[in-house]
Structure 1
Amino acid sequence: MITIILLLAVGTAIMAAPSPDQCPRILADAGVTEGFAPLVAHAIHSLALEDIRYFFKSDATEDNGIPTVNMDLSAEERVLPNAPLMGYDDDFSTIGMKSFDMVMRNMNRTNWGSRNDNVLVRVTHVLHMAELWNKISESYKNIARLLDPKSDICACATDIENNDVLNYVQYLAFKIRYPGITSGNATLTERYITALSSEGRTKRSMDEPVGYDYDFCWDGSLDYEKSRKPNFRKLDFDLSDLELLKNVSEELLDGDDGKAAVQLDSDAHWDWWRNMVKRISMGDSAYYDIAVFMFCMLN
């Protein structure tokens, strides 16, 4: 059904370049869902150029235009404009082992990748993302046979300044850097602000071991037409973390305390984590949305 919708949409492009106001209808006519921006942001937030080349486009360049959360959580630049070359070890032949190696090489860096996670959570995350990208790549191959990268669909999908993809990546960056910042916990927000004011970075001693839950409450079961959408309009993401933290905590309030229900520290607790990872596997409509974005950005 989605393939048929896409074929019809490709044949009904308007002559002039689409405006941001026209894009929601153009994307909807192409079968793209209401959850396009948050789903894309979740899929790309930790994407490396090596992953792009493995799963999507073997000749993708460092100037790929896909924004990602900066893995260096102490850096001023919270979102990178391009998925970076991470330095995977090419002596390993599988993407799983390459991702695992990257986690292990950085396992003692408290300001890398995510905050306060144990190594099992970090490994679970990279393997979950690899599985997600593998699913998306299947849709990508079908879309590549049908979609014109110069179509209005692609013009709208790649307009990350107006379609909220970039805003959602920024949203994720704050959640990853400051777990619980959107929970409504004013004391936690003040702790983060105090740490940044005194040292320019958040000290690990001021963080709590929370067992970070990286699904951010975004999954295929949500009804995006009825769910509350973040209000990005009052936020200038060009400002520094210190300048934005209070506003982010108020404008992007969603009740997420940044904590998983259980620590990943036993086989019994893995049962909860396994089910959570399955739940956030998104589903075919989400894979389609993300594949449209990836194809349009890379071609």
Structure 2
Amino acid sequence: MLIISVFIIGAVVADQSSSTECPAVLKAAGVSDMFAPMIAHSVHSLTLEDIRYFFDADATEENGVPTVNMDLFSDTRVLPNAPLIGYDDDFSTMGMKAFDLVMRNMNRTWWGITNYNTLETLLHAYHMAEIWDKTAEKYKTVARLLDPESEICACMTDVENNDVLNYMNLLAFKIRYPGITSGNKTIADQYIEQRKRRSAAYRIAYDLSLQAAHFRSLDFDGFDFDLPDVELLGDIAEKLVDNEEVISQHIDSSEHWEFWKNLIKQGMDESGFYDLAVFLFCTLN
């Protein structure tokens, strides 16, 4: 898939006048139809330190990679740039740095992922690092062959119009309010009250599956994600239903670990890694 797609990239870059329509440009470059939700899921917890380690050692704080705000109490749900998170550089491996970050925040109920216990938060960190590690080789290949001034990059970085930013906001809602898109419309009222109280009473967690088949194309027409959470929860529960299941089994036994292990093994297919590599290269260059 990557070899074929990179060949097509070369052709599209060589003839940028062939199309001015982004869907056609991206399709010709081998980018999947579901790149927007896939990218949102794949970069939502990316930090500047992660970018520098896996992709671009010279990346700056103005990196243009949107991420979900780890402070889930904040009214700002999506950050415009992957933040410098403050890993402890006394540790030499990314694994220990990520471990330390989770442990430093383990008592903050509304930090990172709503209602994940400490083991699950650690699993999420390692799971995302594995995705970035698998993407890193494709990033190197894309970097050799893709022109950052191409129409492809112009389309990939237009996050306000290509739905990446919309899906990032939606993912922020799913993390803050698991089950909000499940089709259970009554859950919105419960979460509105919860948000007002800023409590975390619901022991369910969002599904971290990254399979392309897991995503559905949603219509964001009429949604203004600049509005506060309490003004959007009802409409999201009613109009952005994707029937995403929520997880009620927490990692508290070997049996439940088998459930989570099977979940993360589903992972992304090759097209997802490729989409992510193209997006990150275009955004960082």
Select which of 217, 224, 229 maps to 1:229.
Answer: 217
Following the alignment from structure 2 to structure 1, what is the Cα–Cα distance between the partners of residues 216 and 113? 26
Q: How does 1:41-190 map to 2 (within 5 A)?
A: 41-190=40-189
Q: Is the 8 A contact 1:17 1:152 kept in 2?
A: no
1:276 aligned to 250, 259, 263, which one?
263
Q: 1:179 Cα shift?
A: 1.2
Q: 1:203 aligns with which of 196, 199, 202?
A: 199
From the two aligned structures, give the one with the greater helix fraction: 2
Residue 213 (structure 1) shift: 2.8
Corresponding residue number in structure 1 for 2:280:
294
Change (3 A) 1:264 1:211: farther
Give aligned pairs, total.
284
Task: Give, in whole Å, the separation in 2 of the partners of 1:9 and 1:46.
Answer: 28
Query: How many Å separate the matches in 1 of 2:19 and 2:234?
Result: 35
Partner of 2:252: 265
Contact kept? 1:181, 1:257, Cα under 8 Å: no
CA distance in 2, matches of 1:27, 1:219: 20
Query: Unmatched 5+ residue regions in structure 1?
Result: none
**Equivalent AA in structure 1 for residue 247 of structure 2:** K
Whole-angstrom CA distance in 1 between matches of 2:4 and 2:183 = 44
The residue number in structure 1 matching 2:229 is 241
Q: Does 1:251 align with 2:239?
A: yes
Show structure 2 runs of 5+ residues with no match: none
Cα distance in 1 for partners of 2:220, 2:246 equals: 20
In structure 2, distance between residues paired with 1:239 and 1:126? 29
2:208 aligned residue? 214
1:2 aligns with 2:2: yes
Distance in 2 (alpha carbons) for counterparts of 1:69 and 1:213: 16
| Counterpart amino acid of residue 240 in structure 1 | P
Distance 1:165 1:18, change over 3 A: farther
Indicate the SS of the match to 2:26.
helix
Query: Separation in 1 of the partners of 2:11 and 2:219?
Result: 34
Question: C-alpha offsets along residues 262-297 of structure 1, whole Å, 9 cap, x if unaligned?
Answer: 221112221111111111x21222111100000000
Q: CA deviation at 1:39?
A: 0.9
User: Does the CA-based 8 Å contact 1:18-1:156 persist in structure 2?
Assistant: no
Is the 1:118–1:211 Cα contact (8 Å) retained in structure 2?
no
Q: Residues 210 and 145 of structure 1: is their aligned pair in 2 closer, same or farther, counting only changes over 3 Å?
A: same
